[in-house]
Amino acid sequence: MSGILAQFDTLGATKKAIERLMADGHSDLDVYSPFPAPELEEAMGIVASPVRRWALIGGITGFSTATALTGLTAVAYPLVTQGKPILSWPAYFIIMFEMTILFTGLFGFLGVLHHTRKPGRLSAQYRTNFSVDRFGVYVPSAAGAEQSGVEALVRDAGAVEVEVGV
């Protein structure tokens, strides 16, 4: 393995290192953060997550399932109850509303599991202090002269610990 793993203790330094590495053409970085940090996503050039499509598809599925469930079951057994029409849409809308929300949430959660490849094993470059107070920047497959360049760059950006050959 020829990757370099640099650890930082501030958000600002991490962001600086990412920006410089990205400018140097290292777009395949793995960055670890102990808390959600939109600044780092921005620095890495991460665009909106595809989870939104999962949520949308879930919502549409939920709404159509509930429409079919309430409408078709009423038609299948057309018994007038409470003096209301067989297809009482205002009443059925409550079921549609609830199921739209239910499926949006569940599909969105499946989307997150899919895109983050969870459940999964911990990656080799993960260090337990990434869940405490350290940020990690992993630069995969840097070789030879490039390796020393990357090392110098992360140290200059304020890395507190650098591991080579991870």
Partner 1 sequence: MATAEIEVPREGLPSLADANRDISRPISTPYKRYWLLIGICLVLIAAAGIAWAIQIRDGMGRAGINNPVNWGVYIVTFVFWVGIAHSGTLISAVLYLVRSGWRTTINRTAEAMTIFAVMTAGLFPLIHLGRVWYFYYLVPYPSTRLLWPNFRSPLVWDMFAIGTYFTISLVFWYLGLIPDLAVLRDKFTGIRKKLYGAFSLGWTGSVRDWAHYRRLYLYLAGIATPLVLSVHSVVSWDFAMGIVPGWHSTIFAPYFVAGAIFSGIAMVITITIPLRWAFGLDRYITKYHFDNMSKLLLFTSLIVGYAYGMEYFLAWFSADPIEIESFRWRGTGFYAGPFWIMVFCNVVVPMSLWFKRTRHSLKALFVISVFVNIGMWYERFVIIVTSLAHEFDPSAWQVYTPSLTEITIMVGSFAWFFFWFLLFAKTLPVISIAEVKEHLAHEHEHGGHS
Nearer CB in complex with partner 1: 91/152? 91
* Tokens 């107070």 sit on residue: 133
Residue 145 C-beta: closest distance to partner 1, Å: 28
- Whole-angstrom CA distances from 160 to 8, 119, 151 are 5, 31, 12
- Nearest distance from C-beta of residue 18 to partner 1, angstroms: 9
DSSP-derived pairing of the beta strands 30-32 and 161-164: unpaired
- 92-120 burial, b at 16+ Cβ within 10 Å, e below that, comes to beeebeebbebbbeebbeebeeeeeeeee
Distance CA 63, CA 93 (A): 9
Q: With CA atoms as reference, report the closest residue to 148 among 12, 156, 44.
A: 156
Q: Which is nearer to partner 1, 50 or 165 (CB)?
A: 50
CB nearer to partner 1: give 34 or 155: 34
**What's the CA gap between 111 and 125, in Å, rounded?**
25
Instruction: Provide the minimum distance between the beta carbon of 109 and partner 1 in the complex, in angstroms, as a whole number.
Output: 5
Question: In this complex, which beta carbon is closest to partner 1, that of residue 12 or of residue 165?
Answer: 12
CB of 139 to partner 1, least distance (A): 14
Smallest distance, partner 1 to C-beta of residue 32, A: 5
Taking a C-beta distance cutoff of 8 angstroms, is the pair 104, 62 a contact?
yes
Interface residue list for partner 1 (CB under 8 A): 10-12, 30-38, 40-41, 44, 46, 48-52, 55, 69-70, 73-74, 76-77, 81-82, 84, 88, 91-92, 94-95, 97-99, 101-102, 104-106, 108-109, 111-113, 115-116, 118-123, 126, 128, 130-133
Q: Which is nearer to partner 1, 25 or 119 (CB)?
A: 119
